[in-house]
Structure 1
Amino acid sequence: MARNVLGTDLITCSTDPMTGFFRTGHCDTCGEDAGQHTVCAQMTEAFLEFSRSRGNDLTTPLPEYGFPGLEAGDFWCLCRSRWEEAHAEGVAPRIRLEATHASVLEYLDLDLLKSYAI
C-alpha cells in the first residue's frame, strides 16, 4: 500500500467527487502520472480562481470525462507543482496530510505541509 507524508498508509482523499490519477479516491501516483497528482487539498474560492487563471479551470463540469466540476470545500488530488505555485502566490489550499502521497516529501518540507494541515 502507498504511504502518506506521515509515513502511514495513504487514506482516501475523496470519492465524491472521485479524485486521483487512477480515479480511486486516493492521491496515489506512478511513473505515468507526469503531473504528480499527490496533494490532497480542500478547495477554496481563491485557489479555484488561481487555478483558472493558470489555465486549469477546475470548476466547469466535463461530463464526457466524468468530471463534475469542483467547488469550495471539495477535496481533490492536486498536482504537487500547482500546489507549490499556489503557495508562492499566497493562495495554497489546506491539505489532508494522511491522504497526501509520501513522494511529495522529495520536493516539500514536512513542516511546511504541516502548517497547511487540516
Structure 2
Amino acid sequence: MQKDDPVNVLGEALTPCSSVDPVTGYFRDGHCNTCAEDRGSHTVCARMTAEFLAYSKYVGNDLTTPRPEFGFAGLKPGDRWCLCAARFLQAHDEGCAPRVDLSATHMRALDIVPLSVLRTHSLG
C-alpha cells in the first residue's frame, strides 16, 4: 500500500494524532495517514468525548469495548483517534462531533468534510 502524501488540511506537514497509547491511524502509526485502500478515510484526528463515544456506539461502531484479539484496549474520553471522515461529518450533523486537531487531520478529509466544518470543531 502506498501512503498518500502526509499533508494536513492546512497544507502543512501532517503531525501525529496520538503517540503510543492508543496507537491510531489506518496504518497504526499514530498519524491519520491514508491510501487508496483506506475505504473509510480514517483521516480526522479527534479528541474523544463521552458524548461522541456513546453516539458512535449507538450508530454501530463501538470504540469503547476492549478487543484484545486486535490489540485494542478501547477508547475513553480524552484519547485521540483517527476517525472516518464520514462518521465525523455524521456526528457533526447530529450535534455531537468531537474536537479535532487540524494539524493532524489529513487533507483527504476535505474530500468529505468541508474545512469550515473542521474549523468549527478545532481544538485551538
Structure 2 stretches lacking a partner, 5+ long = none
Q: Is the 8 A contact 2:32 2:82 kept in 1?
A: yes
User: Paired residue for 2:83, among 78, 84, 90?
Assistant: 78
Q: Is the 8 A contact 2:41 2:85 kept in 1?
A: yes
Q: Secondary structure at the match of 1:39?
A: strand
Report the CA distance between 1:110 and its aligned residue: 1.6
Structure 1 stretches lacking a partner, 5+ long = none
TM-score by length of 1: 0.96
Look up the match of 1:48. 53
Report the CA distance between 1:28 and its aligned residue: 0.5
1:53-80 CA-to-partner distances (Å, cap 9, x unmatched) read 0111100111111111000000000000
Aligned residue pairs, count: 118
User: Paired residue for 1:36, among 37, 41, 44?
Assistant: 41
RMSD over aligned Cα atoms: 0.9
Look up the match of 1:18. 23
- Over the matched positions of the two proteins, sequence identity in percent amounts to 55
Out of 106-115 and 56-65, give the one that drifted further: 106-115
TM-score by length of 2: 0.92
1:58 aligns with 2:63: yes
